[in-house]
Amino acid sequence: GITAATLGKNNTTGPSEVIEGRFGLLASHLQDDTIELDYDMLVKNLGSHWESENASFKPFPVAHVIHPYIDALLRLKTKHAIQVENIKRIVCPVPEYQVGIVCEPIHEKYRPGSDSHGRVSLQFTLAEATVKGVINKDSYSPEALADPAILSLAEKVEYRVDDSFPGPEQFKGEVTIELENGEHFTETEEYNRGSRQNPMTEDEITEKFNTNSASVLSSDQQQSLKEKILYLDSETSAADIIPLTFGK
């Protein structure tokens, strides 16, 4: 059997081909035989290129592709002082690949059966954002999922496939709000907020942290943890950080 001695002798602690082996990561996730695997990508520029710099923060706890639509909608509502009762319809162009994710089946998107269903509904999410003025960790509550005002507005949210919209490499959103009096307003978000092209500010990130952690951390704990994380590059050990997450 495997013992500490044999592990030390063989200088191994696990499968030697966990990445490229028959049952490795690449075999399980890349199953198209026509794709030529480029193993050099795993180590190219190692230590100088950080792919994490291209990762997106999520300002909203919803399907990522919906994010630019939320921001575009909330800007329109604020900019034009739009009242919910005056909205005739909300129109959103979307790329084809998003339809089965956040737009269909229609009846499930209009009336989500749970918070999880709500978070992948373009229609319900935009309706709640309009009615409540915010989407955060408290959204998609049982009360919201049954709110007549939100449910009614969700049925006024329409999508149309727009082939000019980019694929998964760029999350773009556009919202047109048409009012009962015939006025209509359009707002576009070229890149989702939180992406490298449209980064969140430090204040926006810490505001989300404060909102999400308020129920488990005291204000002093929040401040201490924030300071540690914001200056993580100067820390020498994670041992000083972990206890700060233990809660009130």
Dump the DSSP string for 17-39.
TTTTSTTSHHHHH---TTSPP-G
pLDDT for 11 equals 56
pLDDT for 2 equals 45
- pTM equals 0.82
Q: Which of 192, 184, 154 is nearest to 54 (CA)?
A: 192
Q: Which of 189, 180, 172 is nearest to 156 (CA)?
A: 180
Distance CA 130, CA 133 (A): 5
Residue 145 contacts by C-beta under 8 Å, 6 or more apart in sequence?
A: 111, 112, 113, 114, 115, 118, 124
CA angle at 36 for the pair 30 and 38, rounded to the nearest 5°: 90
pLDDT for 12 equals 59
pLDDT for 240 equals 84
Q: What share of the chain is helix, strand, coil (3-state, %, to 5)?
A: 45, 10, 45
> And the tokens for 226?
């924030």
The SS3 of residue 78 is: helix
Are 240 and 220 within 8 A, CB to CB? Answer: no
pLDDT for 23 equals 86
pLDDT for 147 equals 98
> Is cis: bond before 243, omega within 30 of 0?
no
Positions in the chain whose pLDDT score sits under 50: 1-8
Residue 128 contacts by C-beta under 8 Å, 6 or more apart in sequence?
A: 118, 135, 139, 140, 144, 147, 150
pLDDT for 234 equals 87
pLDDT for 51 equals 84
pLDDT for 133 equals 97
pLDDT for 1 equals 44
Distance CA 128, CA 111 (A): 12
Element of type H or E holding 150:
helix 148-154
Are 129 and 135 within 8 A, CB to CB? Answer: yes
Residue type, position 200, single letter: M
